Structure 1
């Protein structure tokens, strides 16, 4: 069951019942007209375990991609909708994502599963079974900070679909050089941390960092469809 209402400046906000509780999708519809209807993908983006869809990278993509013919769906997991502070176990996050999938695919368009941090892990774990067209992994948490021996590379390498990782150059959850070889693409945002924040006195400005991120994603999506 779904219900919908208008979200401020963001098109339609849709509430979807899942086995993990009510979740929410905020839609940013495609406005670009240069592509045929079947070539306009939906990019579904989940948030991390420590925040919601207000994250700078998610908002930047939602602001830029619709003009390139991509509909962006920012997904809020049930625990965030319920106002809880701590994310549940990965199994429960996957359950919530699976429950949202029919709403994400309802238009019959190819859906790229994605997210930042924990949301990227969810997308990787479920992509093949759900029939995702591809995966976008933002700030993939390759390992807990300071614990490279606890690698989550198997989740990334097991996505089973074309995958783009966009990683901050100074991400304590895994710097680009730490990622293993595999059948995925990796784009670096220089000097950026796990939230894609960059120091004021080194490297690109914050706006330039977001331009690097959105440019990498835009180019990759254009080559996919």
Structure 2
């Protein structure tokens, strides 16, 4: 499914205006048909290997990707000290601010999402913000070892068109566990065979990590682009 097309300032122009924010853009060689704001997970920055690879693969498929960092991770970049994520309220506040600035200037289709925690925070705001779509890569349905305490209540009522790309053996939500959750009709789950939380498969599966990342990018691009 596509998320439509719009007119106005495009992702290339917007990226040039926002350099001061120290955000990272990956833009298609040709016109951008959709833009995705992609937030990082709890333990790795916006320029981690996973984030950089996914952003580039999506740009190759026609999706402009903007990456930003939550405050605790940006502070680590300054002094090198590891910190836990900011409280949820702070993370959501920052998501709202980033989305508002991009939405104010970008007239085309705008999706939000992220890796693990970044995607979960986006899912809590997708309906509120009126995002065109939501993309979650490795959704943390529950903390590791705490499948009895799922984080899925809001997913039962989500209205925003959503794609979750999930590894079948993700310790934060494997296929059998997720099958027992009630998810809204707006949510689709694309499973990657034998993959973990970083979408990396077991060697015996016959798939490589690169193949799974390519497959994830294919699924996201198909979902977002008209």
Range class of TM-score, shorter chain: 0.7 to 0.9
Identify, as 1 or 2, the structure richer in strand: 1
Deviation at 1:50, TM superposition (A): 1.1
Q: How far apart, CA to CA, are the structure 1 residues paired with 2:176 and 2:17? A: 40
Matched, 1:115 2:114: yes
Report matched runs for 1:39-78 at 5 Å: 40-78=33-71
SS in structure 2 at match of 1:201:
helix
- Residues 190, 203 of structure 1: 8 Å contact kept: no
> Does 1 or 2 have the higher relative contact order (CA < 8 Å, sep 6+)?
2
Contact 1:134 1:162 in 2 (8 A): yes
Q: 1:218 to 1:142 in 2, by over 3 A?
A: same
Structure 1 residue 48: deviation in Å?
0.7
Q: Which consecutive residues of structure 1, in runs of 5 or more, have no partner in the other structure?
A: 1-9, 17-23
What displacement does 1:96 show?
Answer: 0.9
RMSD of aligned residue pairs (Cα, Å) = 2.2
Larger proportion of helix: 2
Matched, 1:171 2:174: no
- Give how far 1:70 is off: 1.5
Counterpart pick for 1:186 among 186, 189, 192: 189
SS of equivalent to 2:214: helix
Q: Which residue of 2 aligns with 1:136?
A: 135
Q: In structure 2, what is the Cα distance between the partners aligned to 1:56 and 1:199? A: 19
Question: Bigger CA drift: 133-142 or 191-200?
Answer: 191-200
TM, length-normalised to structure 1: 0.81
Which residue is equivalent to 1:198?
Answer: 201
Please give the alpha-carbon distance, in whole angstroms, between the structure 1 residues aligned to 2:214 and 2:110: 23
Q: Structure 1 residues 11, 192: closer, same or farther in 2, change over 3 A? A: farther
Q: How big is each residue's C-alpha offset from its partner over 1:111-156, in whole Å with a ceiling of 9 and x where there is no partner?
A: 1010011101111111111121010011110011121111111233
The answer as to whether partners of 1:32 and 1:66 remain within 8 angstroms in 2 is no
Q: How many residues align?
A: 202
CA displacement at 1:14 relative to structure 2: 3.3
> Which residues of structure 2 form unaligned runs of 5+?
1-14, 77-81
Q: Secondary structure at the match of 1:150?
A: coil
Alpha carbons of structure 1 residues 85 and 14: separation in structure 2 relative to 1, 3 Å? farther
Q: Do the aligned partners of 1:44 and 1:113 also contact (CA within 8 Å) in 2?
A: yes
Which runs of structure 2 are paired with 1:74-153 in the superposition (5 Å)?
74-83=67-76, 84-105=82-103, 106-153=105-152
